[in-house]
Amino acid sequence: MSRYRGPRLRIVRRLGSLPGLTRKDPKRAYPPGQHGQARRKRSEYATRLEEKQKLRFNYGITEKQLLRYVRKARRVTGSTGLVLLQFLEMRLDNTIFRLGFAPTIPAARQLVNHGHILVNGRRLDIASYNCRPGDIISVRDREASKNRVRTNLENPGLANVPSHLTFDKEKLSATVTGVVEREWVALQINELLVIEYYSRQ
């Protein structure tokens, strides 16, 4: 299945708050569909699947991409769940979102794809680019690009810039100073259940 383009609040009602997917709040607090209000006992598999789907929809990645990130995280020493979250958080589209340049991750991906973002002074249109410590992220020196970003900065998606980013609001540029820490991950998720879900693949 390719990237999800359907109703976002339907996903939020089913999985809970996803700050990267949408800023809207659903009117109803129960899952969508005919049996949304029915209380059913959920299996362990259903719980793991739900946690995995939270990651997929929040960061806007496909199943194939997520599986690739999980396999890559397994090869790195340390907690596989934490490394997986760090890989996803250090993506360029998510970094743009966390800086407040865009209201959601899909909007940040569009900014990157349309060539509004520079990394180390060069235009980069790959949203999945892995930001590394020392990278300088800035807005293209065009009035249209800067105006769009300034408008988004008036109402950022998340209030605080994470500690691994230093942001200069006047120059509209930021520097990646390190790797994101677990407490700065905005998504409420149990990453170990995601690793358990993929344990047989």
Whichever domain contains 138, its CATH number is 3.10.290.10
* CA gap 54, 15 in Å, rounded: 6
Q: Are residues 82 and 104 in the same domain?
A: no
Q: What is the pLDDT of residues 65-80, one digit of tens each?
A: 999 999 999 999 989 9
Residues 133 and 77 in one domain: no
* pLDDT 10s digits, 89-145: 999 999 999 998 999 999 999 999 999 999 999 999 999 999 999 999 999 988 888
Same domain, 69 and 124: no
Q: Is residue 1 part of a domain?
A: no
Q: Which domain holds residue 66?
A: 8-87+186-197
CATH number, position 66: 1.10.1050.10
CB atoms within 10 A of CB 56: 20
Average pLDDT over the chain reads 87
Q: Give the neighbor-by-neighbor strand order of the sheet with 136-139.
A: 122-123, 117-119, 136-139, 173-176, 165-168
Tens digit of each residue's pLDDT (9 = 90 or more) over 31-57: 777 676 776 778 899 889 999 999 999
Q: CB 144: neighbour CB atoms within 10 A?
A: 9
